[in-house]
Amino acid sequence: MAADRPIIHVDKPLTRAEAAVVGDRATIVGPGDDTLAGVTASVIGVGHQWDAARFARFPELRCLSRMGIGYDNIDVAAASAAGVMVCNAPDSPTVSTAEHAVALMMSITKELPIQQARAEAGERGPAVATSLELDGATLGLVALGRIACRVARAAQGLGMRVIASDPGLSESPVEGVELVDLERVLETSDVVSLHAPAVPATRHLVNARTLARMKPGAYLINTARGALVDQDALADALDAGHLAGAGLDVTEPEPLPVGHRLLGRPNVIVTPHISSSTAVGRVRLFEHAFENALRALTGGAPTVVPEQT
């Protein structure tokens, strides 16, 4: 290992493109490398829980750099006690996650899983027309951060009316998006898309009571955090026919156990928390997190912002 290079730990094997980002600027160790002496930074995803015991394995660690937004798998208090700076890459997953949210919305409202099953069964032509035409429909966004703003603009391009609930905003950052309260989002939206962070106040924000407030026949999209939704209450609302469908990239737990009520349903699409995983997006996540680590180690200012989706 070159003496003048920082030793940076990673929790997954690097792709060729990610290795090219590193070049000769650092020595990379891990994953599965127990030679942790000299490691001063770690670039991580969500593969491990970082608690006091794990920090103790990295005695010289100065920076823990997340490839993403949230700190769900990091005990921040334990990091502070260990003298480790925690930073994140909030802008990196914006494009890919927003595109995935729109893809889920379009796929489930157009009943693509149902229509694919019909085609595979040898059916032809239209069945009963129950899919939603998005032009003129209302999209309600719960929180209006980076990703939600991009979803809003895409929805406007489809001719949708967009409203949003975000108690942290006094005015909308997207022209044409009206800020309203959560109750109005639930009651008037044909599609509700979740973009709030996972904090104690938002745990099971979507529950039996709030689902009952949603417009009959509406759709729910969640690319934010699984903890925002009471999964059983969502399944109940779908069973009752109150909701027409749901598109989920995040669940609680992840993955859902085999046989879970939300799996195998023709009106629910579940993807395995991959909304940021485009080929370009994954490299962008790593690059931002790696650059953050280098800045932290050289006295610069890495990105350290609260979770916002």
pLDDT at 45: 86
Residues 153-166 pLDDT 10s: 999 999 999 999 99
Task: DSSP letter for 206, please.
Answer: B
**How confident is the model at residue 303, as a pLDDT?**
73
Distance of CA 179 to the CA centre of its chain: 22
Largest interatomic CA distance in the chain? 69
DSSP string for 11-62: SSPPPHHHHHHHTTS-EEE-SS----TTEEEEEE-SSS-B-HHHHHT-TT--
Q: What is the reported pLDDT for 126?
A: 77
Listed in sequence order, the residues at least 6 apart from 122 whose beta carbon sits closer than 8 Å to its beta carbon are none
Could you list the mean pLDDT of each consecutive 10-residue stretch along the chain, which spans 309 residues?
Answer: 80 93 93 77 88 92 90 91 93 93 98 92 82 97 97 98 97 98 98 94 97 98 97 98 98 95 97 92 93 92 65
- Beta pairing class for 138-142 and 191-194: parallel
d(CA 190, CA 136): 10
Mean pLDDT of the chain: 92
Q: What residues have CB less than 8 Å from 212, skipping those under 6 apart?
A: 237, 242
| Residue 2: predicted pLDDT | 55
pLDDT of residue 35: 58
Asked whether the beta carbons of 158 and 210 are under 8 A apart, the reply is: no
- In angstroms, the CA 189 to CA 137 distance is 8
Residue-range domains of the chain with CATH: 7-92+278-297 (3.40.50.720), 94-270 (3.40.50.720)
Residue in this structure with the two tokens 């990196």, named with its chain if needed: 92
pLDDT the model gives residue 66 = 93
**Assigned token pair, 229:** 């939704």
Tokens of 256: 């859902």
**Whole-number pLDDT of residue 103:** 98
Residues marked as catalytic: 225, 254, 273
Show the CA angle centred on residue 137, arms to residues 133 and 138, nearest 5°. Answer: 150
